[in-house]
Amino acid sequence: MLAESLPDPDPGEVYQLWLLDEDGAEPTQTFFTGSGQGQVHLMEDMPADAQVAVTREPDGGSQTPSMDPLGVVSAVAT
């Protein structure tokens, strides 16, 4: 997953990735901050139809998203 042009999160916040499926959003322990761009390598054994979402969360992350996703992408193996 490649993120570009995201504004720096506010102090005390991070961007958090979520795995989405028919049951809802599962939190990951993948967080990023900083320059507004980054690259994240996801699990190799993800389901082919998996989707990944990103939200802005308190530092340390959340167990449920505190906002609508800023973006959602299909996870495609490369």
| pLDDT tens per residue across span 15-39 | 888 988 888 898 888 777 766 555 5
Task: Tell me the pLDDT band of 45, cut-offs 50, 70 and 90.
Answer: low
Predicted TM-score (pTM) of the model is 0.78
**What whole-number distance in Å separates Cα of residue 44 and Cα of residue 24?**
20
Task: Tell me the pLDDT band of 62, cut-offs 50, 70 and 90.
Answer: very high
> What is the sign of the dihedral through the CA atoms of 60, 63, 67 and 72?
positive
Average pLDDT, whole number, for the chain?
80
